[in-house]
Structures are given as C-alpha cells and as structure tokens.
Amino acid sequence: MKKRITLFLLAAALPMAASANSDELMSAQAAFRQALAAQNSTDAGLIHLQQRLEDAQRRKASAEADIQAYSQKLAEAQQQKAANDSALKQAGERLNAAWQAVHGSR
C-alpha cells in the first residue's frame, strides 16, 4: 500500500514538475526574445546615429571648405577694391589737373 501511495504521489508530482519546467522554459524563451528585440533595436539605433554623425561630418567638411573659399574670395575682392580706390583717386587727381589746365582757376 505504501508503494502505491508513493507511486501515486510520484505520478501526480511529475506533471507538476514538468509543468514548472515548461513554464520556466517558456519564461526563459520570452526573456530571450525580449532581450534579442532590445538588442536589435539598439543596433538599429546605433547604425542610424552613426550615419547621422557621418553625414554631419561631411556637411562640416563641406562648410569648412566653403568658408576657406569665401575667405579667399573676400580677400581678393578687398584687394581689388583697394586697387580700384587707388586708380579712382589717381584718375580724379588727373581730371582735376586737366580741368584746371583747361579752365584755370576762375
């Protein structure tokens, strides 16, 4: 009789143990899937941020090249303006001298 009760208790405990193991397996699988999804999301975010950083670096390099080119063009334009100012001053002085020579000081 004791054997029967022991066997009965064992038989009753097996499904509960199997059920607990199945529950743990399902829980572990769910946790793994959740961690994997988080990892995939993080990886996608990293890739996106890396691309944005590279784009920003390219824009910065382009802007720096533009700054250098415009600075050089501005310096050249300022030199041209100084040359034009000097030529205008000389032409004005020449015109005044010619006017004075023709019309005298009236």
pLDDT in single tens digits along all 106 residues of the chain:
676 666 666 666 666 666 788 889 999 999 999 999 999 999 999 999 999 999 999 999 999 999 999 999 999 999 999 999 999 999 999 999 999 999 986 6
pLDDT for the residue 104: 83
Report which secondary-structure segment, H or E, holds 88: helix 2-103
Cα→Cα distances 57→45, 53, 63, Å: 18, 6, 10
pLDDT for the residue 21: 85
Which structure tokens are listed for 73?
């063009």
pLDDT for the residue 11: 63
pTM of the model: 0.56
Phi-psi label, residue 97: left if phi above 0, alpha if psi -120 to 50, beta otherwise: alpha
